[in-house]
Structure 1
């Protein structure tokens, strides 16, 4: 990891993963510094992670993940892929700058981002027998209304967002509905439909299914969905098994709240 600073309170970090020519790595560092210098004094903690795996089975192998922290607004994140490393860097940093400007001016990312970008990273093909849960992440769920969770999901460029539903106290999940340009809300234990949101959020009529890890993995494989939101039969908490771009799986579980 390379850490660069060009003024007090300005923190820019560039991480290179995989096989990249030195010229491309330097290009990524220079472009990151140029972006943060133009975003203004309220921007800090900028990050760029550039990945080019050895696997060439996808048509857009270069993936750039860029993020920045804006005072008074919070984090903004973008993850996009392109054919070359430089294209990925320019695409991600340019998109990040545009979204940061929109947040400042309008206070929101905008519903156009509900649709999946054609530059979204691709899933590498991996035989079923080789797939494993290679990352387990425990998170403390933020208490949000569904609308707040959606806006946070868009700002962070996630496909889904696990949160603690402020309206019901349950674990909940919101996710994009690319074909509809809207969003869907699923709660862990009940299908109470409250409505009243200013966003196009469809509330699921069914609670999340109770699944063992093997059952969730089987459903993920059978449906080809990017993730499966389910509840653990043991503690009843919501969790997400999701597909990683390297063809393996990841698992997100909530941290148990102190009694």
Structure 2
């Protein structure tokens, strides 16, 4: 097995690296050389541990937050769940998990957009968007809906469900969908970045999907684990 590319080393990170390496070593099609493990201290003895790899041509990402004594074992379990999702296109991952990274609260009005990223939204159907979202351990996925061509977002609702929001169309998809899916029936607002920040400040929602004023493309403002915001824009 090839050596893993590791960002950090020592203690918890070494245990996580060993567990992920052993797991991927037994997975046909896994590219161990594409894997890495990253640790971030959250305070109070809690750590945020993340692994990234490539399996059978798919990128996977697993992220857990837990006491440092437990986080390496939990990460291995999460990576195993991500890999198994490849064999069950109609399945779903449990959400939200007990080891989901906490979000800092109580900072309304003081948050800033700490990260901006423009993405080329992949053209795909909701089922493919759900698979990509689950493999990457995301709570939402920004993509271009293949049925309408519209910038869209898929996100989790409850422990088993998914919801689709398109920029304009609020009708359910015409083609069959395997995952349990509902459709957002509320209009997607057109906002500036500052307006989106203000609206998210006023709620407890994890993110806001909106049409970006000026470009009129889909964008998602979301809460980061450190309490600040991130912004994804289609382009």
**TM-score normalized by the length of structure 1:** 0.81
The structure richer in helix per residue is: 1
CA contact (8 A) 1:149 1:174 kept: yes
Corresponding residue for residue 13 of structure 1 = 5
Q: Equivalents in 1 of 2:221, 2:191: separation in Å?
A: 11
Runs of 4+ in structure 1 over 6 Å off: none
Q: Please tell me whether residue 50 in structure 1 is matched to residue 39 in structure 2.
A: yes
Of residues 161, 169, 194 in structure 2, which corresponds to 1:182?
161
Corresponding residue for residue 3 of structure 1 = none
Corresponding residue for residue 94 of structure 1 = 77
Is the alpha carbon distance of 1:102 and 1:231 closer, same or farther for their aligned partners in structure 2, counting shifts above 3 Å? closer
Q: Please tell me whether residue 191 in structure 1 is matched to residue 180 in structure 2.
A: no
Corresponding residue for residue 51 of structure 2 = 66
Q: Higher Cα Rg: structure 1 or 2?
A: 1
Q: Please tell me whether residue 131 in structure 1 is matched to residue 119 in structure 2.
A: no
Is the alpha carbon distance of 1:61 and 1:125 closer, same or farther for their aligned partners in structure 2, counting shifts above 3 Å? farther
Aligned-pair CA distance for 1:96 = 0.7
Superposition pairs of residues 1-259 of structure 1, within 5 angstroms: 7=1, 10=2, 12-16=4-8, 22-40=10-28, 42-44=30-32, 45-53=34-42, 55-56=43-44, 61-72=46-57, 74-84=58-68, 86-103=69-86, 106-108=87-89, 110-111=91-92, 113-178=93-158, 181-195=160-174, 196-255=176-235
CA contact (8 A) 1:126 1:248 kept: no
Corresponding residue for residue 4 of structure 1 = none
CA contact (8 A) 1:114 1:182 kept: no
Unaligned runs of 5+ in 2: none
Residues 200-209 or 221-230, more deviating: 200-209
Could you list the per-position Cα deviations for residues 3-57 of structure 1 after superposition, in whole angstroms to 9, with x for gaps in the alignment? xxxx4xx3522223xxx9x43343344334333333345433112111114x44x
Coordinate RMSD, CA, aligned:
2.2
Where 1:130 maps in the other structure, the secondary structure is: coil
